[in-house]
Structure 1
Amino acid sequence: MLVLRNFTAATLIALTAGCATGLNSSQESELASYRANNLAVEEKNPGLAAGLGLLPGGGSFYGRSYGYGVANLLLWPISILWDPVSGYDAAESINYQATKARVTSLRRREIDALDTKLASDEIDLKRYTLEKRKVDEKYSYNL
């Protein structure tokens, strides 16, 4: 019975370790660029997520990984070895996705406004092209 319990615990640990993989280096760079340009959205606080990871399942629940939260709750206090990192990674991932959605929306809104101005002859094609380039540069990120 003890062997089965240890095997089950080890399996759950293996499944829950790294449940939120975090951002890859390109995404981290992109998010840093958006933060530097005050375009980032912070839906979740990564520091708070890491801190909540010390509580039973807290980092996972905060990072919207409810199944992992239950598993980490059951494995507490061992889960404090990985749940703070997992919570932090989940918060960063949520913030990245929210930022990407916001940047896409803002860019689309500005392009639509330019399209309307071009269609109503408020601006000519040359001016449209210059303004569109500015919009693209504003919402792009440097690698």
Structure 2
Amino acid sequence: MIKKLIFVGLIALFTSGCATGLNSQQTAEYNSMEARGLAIQEKNPTTGALLGILPGGGSFYAREPAFGVLNLLFWPLSIFWDPVSGYDGSTRINYNFSKAQIDKNKHEAEKKLHRDFQDGHITEIQLARGMRDIEDKYKY
């Protein structure tokens, strides 16, 4: 009975794919964000990987509590995959957080520029230049 439970748990764990990392397009976008100084580090991927050595630590750190509990149950076997899960999950969190923050900052800058135009503080040409500058600043 216990062997069957362990086997079913392992199959469920491997087929569900723990905290997934970024796909190739997201990786390229995140690398661009980092190169342009736009990336925000909400979670440290190295910390996520190191915590993966502890029972369920990497998954809990990467905000994947269900996988954390599963990895806790399968410790010490989970040492083989939870550090990767912690690293990938932390990177995914950083990507999503950075993307949301960039979009928010861009929207606020555009809104301020339009408000300045409506109030007559800038001309239409200055508005167009400002919009182009904002687009260039927040492009990743």
Shorter-chain TM-score bucket reads over 0.9
TM-score, normalization by structure 2? 0.93
Deviations 1:4-57 (A, max 9, x none): x23322322233233111101111111111111111111110001001101100
C-alpha distance in structure 2 between counterparts of 1:84 and 1:35, whole Å? 23
C-alpha distance in structure 2 between counterparts of 1:42 and 1:53, whole Å? 19
Aligned to 2:115: 116
C-alpha distance in structure 1 between counterparts of 2:3 and 2:137, whole Å? 54
Aligned to 1:26: 25
Aligned to 1:16: 13
Structure 2 gaps of 5+ residues are none
C-alpha distance in structure 2 between counterparts of 1:6 and 1:139, whole Å? 53
Aligned to 1:63: 62
Residue type matched to 1:40 in 2?
A
Deviation at 1:132, TM superposition (A): 0.2
C-alpha distance in structure 1 between counterparts of 2:69 and 2:38, whole Å? 34
Structure-to-structure mapping, 1:40-119, within 5 angstroms? 40-119=39-118
Secondary structure of 1:103's counterpart equals helix
CA RMSD of aligned residues (A): 1.1
Moved more, 12-21 or 31-40: 12-21
Deviation at 1:137, TM superposition (A): 1.2
Deviation at 1:113, TM superposition (A): 1.0
- Give the paired residue count: 138
Deviation beyond 6 Å, 4+ runs, structure 1: none
Q: Percent identity?
A: 43
Deviation at 1:110, TM superposition (A): 0.7
C-alpha distance in structure 1 between counterparts of 2:133 and 2:12, whole Å? 46
C-alpha distance in structure 1 between counterparts of 2:120 and 2:7, whole Å? 67
